[in-house]
Amino acid sequence: MSNHPHQNPQGANFQQELPQGMAIAALVTGILSLTLCGVFTAIPAIICGHLGVKQADNGEASGRAMAMAGMIMGYISLAITILGTIAYFVVVFVVIGAAAAAQPGGL
């Protein structure tokens, strides 16, 4: 047996790299949901994020931080979409109400 510092000791076990598929999918769809596609990729980002975190917690996969990041971006994008939709309808109803009130006969 050699004592060379760059050699691995006999019987050293190296941990096999775990898959990161769900974590990567969550991160990619999370980024897309914030930049381009909105709710169409926000929901898959949330689902893949939850699955990726669960796999990482069970030791079946790595990439917990990526899965969390994708999931958080998905939730943020979904919240922005919902709030934007609500704001749109509020503005439309306010404009319709103001137009109806401005007419001499009202509604």
Per-residue model confidence (pLDDT) at position 7:
60
pLDDT band at residue 12, thresholds of 50, 70 and 90? low
pLDDT at 48 over 80: yes
Measured CA to CA, the distance from residue 107 to residue 96 in angstroms comes to: 10
Write out pLDDT tens, residues 52-105. Answer: 999 999 989 889 999 999 999 999 999 999 999 999 999 999 999 998 888 876
pLDDT band at residue 37, thresholds of 50, 70 and 90? confident
DSSP of 8-65, one letter per residue? PPTT---PPPPP-HHHHHHHHHHHHIIIIITHHHHHHHHHHHHHHHHHHHHTS---HH
**32 with 53: CB under 8 angstroms?**
no
Per-residue model confidence (pLDDT) at position 13:
62
Taking CA atoms, 74 is separated from 19, 43, 46, 89, in Å, by 22, 6, 5, 23
